[in-house]
Every structure is written in structure tokens, then in C-alpha cells.
A and B are shown apart, each in its own frame.
Chain A
Amino acid sequence: MTSASGSIHLEVTPPLQYRLRIADTCLIHAQRLAEWCGHGPVLEEDIALTNMALDLIGQARALLTQAGSLAGQPGGEKPSEDELAFLRDERQFFNLTLVELPLRKASVHAPGGDFADTVLRNFLLAGWLKALWSRLLSSNDEELAAIAGKALKEARYHQRHAADWVMRLGDGTGESAARLRAALERAWPYTAEMFQRDEVDAHAEAAGLGPARDALRAEWQIEVAAVFAEARLDLPADTPFISTGTRGVHSEHMGFILAEMQVLQRSYPGGAW
């Protein structure tokens, strides 16, 4: 399973990929939010963003541990949560592309450093995760249902916190509203992937494991529209572009985020602290 590069390579089955999509979305979103640590606009919000990142890492850990138990060869060694997080290569990560886009640091596609991007991404994702967790409560995988039970409370809070900021910025000053609209233009094309049904979704739905992504759309859109109305934001029109992170094909930003995230474990294999 371990290659010369120290990477692990998984035989990816639909139930494994289904779990890794959620786990990796939480993990990479957390990694981006954590970039705000020490840089928040005010101390209190800095702590809030870090708290949310830690919630998401907790969710990722639970899911990766479970995924690891499904991932190994029969009778062989099972990869641990750490091995899955730090020794997988880019093509074996299955997060939504949205979460890997730069958030605080600048790039060609996003100016970065704009708190509006963070507020908006947090809001769009928290609502999506909330809809997902609430359906996973009735998963026929009891462990997954238990993880969802804990995570749902966290996602509900994340959504409220982020929604408040969306309303504050959207209905704030001309400057804050313009920045939020710009952030929405940047993020919106990547929301299509959140509801893009494929064979992995169909498998999970048929097996009673969890919902297909397209089943989350109606609830998500109603909640987003309600907050956008308060924030004086219009729902943008859908675009034909569909990102492919959940299929393991990532944006150019993914390699950099993994390099930063994995460097320690790859430089000091098995290092623990």
C-alpha cells in the first residue's frame, strides 16, 4: 500500500469515496479556515474561526478513522486517520473544489485576505453540511449516523454564525456589500459541484448509506435565499461550469495546500507529538 514516495494508495470503492468526500471537504475547509489563526479581523472572530476549524477537523477525524477501517486490504493493515490525511496524494483527495480555493492568502483567482470570502464560503458550506448531516442521521451505518449526530449541532452553529456575517456585510456599508457581492461571484460557480449527482451518490442512496448530493439542493437553496434576502444579495444564475474535486481532479491550489499540510509528516515519517 505504501509507495517509495511514502504515499499510500487506496483501492477506492464507492462507499469509501462517499465518506472521503465528506471527510476531505471538512479537512481542507478546516485547513483554509485555520490560515486565519492570528490574523482575524478582531480577536473574538479570530477565536471563532479557529473554533470552527477545530470542529471541522474533529468531523474529518471521525470520518477518516471510519474510512480507514474500510480502506485496507482484507486482513491487511488499515490506514490510520493520520496516514489518510498526511500520506495520500492529491488525486486521492475527494473534497469539493470550493474548499481548496485560496481564502486568506492571495492568488490569481481570488484576491485573498478578504474576510467576505471567508464569511460567504463558511455560510455556503455550513448550510450544505447541515443538510447532509441531518440526512445522515438516518444512515444505515450506525457509526456514520452517530458522527452526523454530533456534527449536526456544530454545523447548525457554523451556519448561524456565518449567516449573521453575511447579513452584516451585505446589509452594511456600500463597501462591505460590494466586497460580499464580489466574493459571491467568485464562489458561486463552485457551488454546482455540491449538488452534482454521480455514481458514488447513486450507490450510497441505493445502499441506504446516505443522501445523493442532488437531494440536498432544495433545502440548501431555500435557506441561502432567505439569508440573501436579508443581506440584499441576489442569487446568481447557475453557470455550466462544474468543478471536479469530488472525483479527485483538483484545482492548481490543491497541491500547495497539501504540501503545507503534509510536509511535517512526510519529512518525519511516523512523527508524533
Chain B
Amino acid sequence: MNSSTISTELPKTETTAEWPKTETTAEWPKTETTAEWPLWEVFVRAKAGLDHKHCGSLHATDARMAVQLAREVYTRRQEGVSVWVVKSIDITASDPGDKDMYFDPMEDKVYRHPGFYELPDSVNHM
């Protein structure tokens, strides 16, 4: 791109692109009707400005169905204005066995909390 011209157009990301066509995933064989549908994790944004919070999971054949079923199952009582779904298999989690070495050492590091420090009077509105 010429350095003097700056494109004002937003790149087409996945969220701005059109709805994905219904597609079957590779690990979901087309002819198999008895196998379980893949599991999806559901994140719901309660209102504009807040972040999406994990609220549960559901089974769906693809992303488009997962969004619709998330709407059906998790926003029936006006819980949200936006829904994200992520394939559970795509989430990498920390190992519960690592909990001791990962998280316990933070127990005695109170100086990492801002309240630990006394601020001079001249610093207002912190």
C-alpha cells in the first residue's frame, strides 16, 4: 500500500463477515446420526460495555447452530445482548495438577495490590 494513503475501511474480520454457511466439521461425519454433537462453550454479554462472561456449554453441529441454541438456552430471561461460542475442544486449559506451583505462590505477594501502597496527599483521585 502507498504510505500516503491510509485505508479507512475496517478489515473484514470473522465477526463482521456474513454468517458462516452451514458446514459440517471434519470430526463430525455426515452420515453418523448417533454420535454426539460437538460441545461448545457459551459466553454472554449482559449489556453493551460489559465483557462476555462464560455461562455454560451446549451441543451443536456447527457455529451457526451453536449461536442460535445459545440464544435459546442462555438468554431466555433477557440475560444478554451478545453471544459468543467457542468449540470446547479449542480451549486450552491449565492443568489442575499445576495449581500448587501456578497459583499458590501469589498468596503472600500483597504488594501486588495497589492498596498496599500509601500515596502522598498530593496524589489525588487514584
Point out residues on A near B: beta carbons under 8 Å.
42-45, 47-48, 51, 160-161, 164, 167-168, 171-173, 175
Contact = CB atoms under 8 A, between A and B. Distances in A.
Interface stretch (B30-38, B89-97, B109-117): B30-38
B37 A42 contact: yes
Interface string B36-51: 0100000000000000
Contacts of A164: 22, 64-65, 68
Contact of A173 (B22, B30, B37, B64): B30
Sorted nearest first, the 10 A-B pairs with minimum C-beta distance are A44-B69, A48-B72, A44-B58, A47-B72, A51-B72, A47-B73, A44-B73, A173-B31, A161-B68, A167-B22
Which of B33, B61, B69, B72 has the largest number of chain A CB atoms within 10 A? Answer: B72
B77 to A, nearest CB: 11
Contacts of B64: 164
A57 to B, nearest CB: 14
Contacts of A45: 69
B99 interface: no
B58 A51 contact: no
Contacts of A42: 37, 59
B125 interface: no
B4 to A, nearest CB: 44
A167 B37 CA distance: 18
A45 B72 CA distance: 8
B76 interface: yes
A172 B68 contact: no
